[in-house]
Amino acid sequence: MSEGYFKRVTQYTPTRMWINNPTLSETNKAIAAGAVSCTTNPTYCGKMLANPEMRDIVLSLIGEGRRMYSDASDIAAYAQRKSVKLLMDKFLPVYEAAGGVNGFVSLQGDPFKEDDPANIINEALKDLSLGKNFIAKIPTTEAGLEAIKYLAGRNVPVIATEIMSVAQCLSACEAYRQSGGGAPVYITCIAGIFDDCLKNQLAAGEIDADRDVIFRAGCTLMREEYRVMRENGLPGRLLGGGARGLHHFTEFVGGECDITINWKGTADALIEGDTPVIERMDAPTPKELLDALMQVPTFEKAYLPDGLKPCEYADFPPVRLFRGQFEDGWKKLIKEIEDYGK
């Protein structure tokens, strides 16, 4: 009998699975299936409010927050923290069994305040009190890089997120190196959202490219981040994210990296399909594919190590797309708070 896809991935390769934005029941299933850690983002409560399993739980936390705070943003932050704390409690045995190497649960704050490094730092320091398996999720922008350097220097575990380019990857690794800290740091590549951005540009007539080429852009970018980090001995472990298809996990199997995926539609599909474990991370990128992708301006900027300057990170189209999703999720939470009890 099969041990299950993710347990076989763990057995035969150095690749590990994280679960993203799960419900409590999905968390239990993911841990049983072999998930080593968990990510959430600012859309978490907004998504959970639309989920029958979680809606009443989040509404109850909003009610608690309203008795403590008058400002909707403070109530939203309270509900987000308390919701994520439920996930942290479930992953705490994983953290303890692994000696603090796995079992992390990430928390990322108000996306409308991500341009202020002091706010990012202060919110992360508050989040530390939630539990020892907390990991700060910080955007890799100019403001976020300041926060990463400060927090990592105080041995706070960090996920450098919203990375859509090799330049951001290099900046995040350098910020961690300069921090002098020793806590775990994960360097993301948000491959699926990157693909979505190029698909949107293609549909809008902003770029001229073959759909099959665009389909492979995010995977090609992540492989390049992986190569650059390994060949240059850069600190941190690569963490794939933003999966929009099964290939955003399976194409990276075999790499010394972690991949965060949703349970529904991705993790459960890979388990149900009893997908074979095939190592693909080190597969070479065909020259013809790379040549075609380099004709796409957004991809070229993302792929070249000097394609972007730090002052351009926040406004890079794939980053803006990702943050826009976070902002929409946060707005849903704020609206629920404002409508509470009506």
What is the per-residue pLDDT for 1? Answer: 39
Q: What integer is the mean pLDDT of 286-290?
A: 97
Q: What integer is the mean pLDDT of 117-130?
A: 96
Q: What integer is the mean pLDDT of 98-124?
A: 96
What is the per-residue pLDDT for 340? Answer: 87
What is the per-residue pLDDT for 243? Answer: 96
What is the per-residue pLDDT for 234? Answer: 97
Split at pLDDT 50, 70, 90, the class of 111 is very high
Task: Decide if pLDDT at 341 tops 80.
Answer: no
Q: What integer is the mean pLDDT of 40-62?
A: 97
Task: Decide if pLDDT at 226 tops 60.
Answer: yes
Task: Decide if pLDDT at 342 tops 70.
Answer: no
- Which pLDDT tens digit goes with each residue over 129-179? 999 999 999 999 999 999 999 999 999 999 999 999 999 999 999 999 999
Q: Report the alpha-carbon distance of residue 289 to residue 292 in Å, rounded.
A: 5
- Strand segments, DSSP code E, in the chain are 16-20, 37-39, 105-107, 134-139, 158-161, 185-189, 237-240, 257-261
pTM metric for this prediction: 0.96
Q: Report the alpha-carbon distance of residue 165 to residue 156 in Å, rounded.
A: 24
Domains of the chain with CATH codes: 5-329 (3.20.20.70)
What is the per-residue pLDDT for 40? Answer: 98
Q: What integer is the mean pLDDT of 17-23?
A: 98
What is the per-residue pLDDT for 189? Answer: 98
The average confidence (pLDDT) of the chain is 96
- Which pLDDT tens digit goes with each residue over 59-110? 999 999 999 999 999 999 999 999 999 999 999 999 999 999 999 999 999 9
8 Å CB contact between 252 and 237: no
Percent of the chain having pLDDT more than 70?
A: 99
- Which pLDDT tens digit goes with each residue over 229-275? 999 999 999 999 999 999 999 999 999 999 999 999 999 999 999 99
Helix, strand or coil, per DSSP, at residue 340 = coil
Q: Report the alpha-carbon distance of residue 273 to residue 261 in Å, rounded.
A: 16
How many CB atoms neighbour CB 174 within 10 A? Answer: 15
Q: Which long-range contacts (CB under 8 A, 24 or more apart) does 328-331 make?
A: 328/43, 328/46, 329/41, 329/42, 329/43, 329/44, 329/45, 329/46, 329/47, 330/42, 330/43, 330/46, 330/76, 330/110, 330/111, 330/112, 331/46
Task: Decide if pLDDT at 39 tops 70.
Answer: yes
